[in-house]
Amino acid sequence: MQLSDVLSCDPDVVSGAVVFKGTRVPVEALFENLRGGMSLEEFFENYPTVERSQIDAVLVLASKDIEKKLSRAA
């Protein structure tokens, strides 16, 4: 799985923010809302264009990125 499979970045879409592919929803919105205490179910209600598979993929990719960075630092 590649980032480009689930995310996109286009200067003409949401001022170039990284968004869930095929939507205008910034990926940052996911993390901000989770930090704020929103559940995934609430996120889906508020952003119905985002698919569960996209969220799952982003969370897996973020986790792998963190693991990679930590292993380099060790």
Look up residue 59 and give its two tokens. 């969370």
Using pLDDT thresholds of 50, 70 and 90, give the confidence band for residue 63: very high
Domains of the chain, residue spans:
3-73
Q: Which long-range contacts (CB under 8 A, 24 or more apart) does 29-33 make?
A: 30/55, 30/58
**Looking at the predicted structure, is the pLDDT value of residue 39 above 90?**
yes
Average pLDDT of every residue of the chain: 93
Look up residue 52 and give its two tokens. 């569960």
* Secondary structure string (H, E, C) spanning 23-40: CCCEHHHHHHHHHCCCCH
Q: Per-residue pLDDT averaged across 13-18, rounded?
A: 94
CB 46 within 8 A of CB 36: no
Question: Is 3-73 CATH 1.10.1200.10?
Answer: no
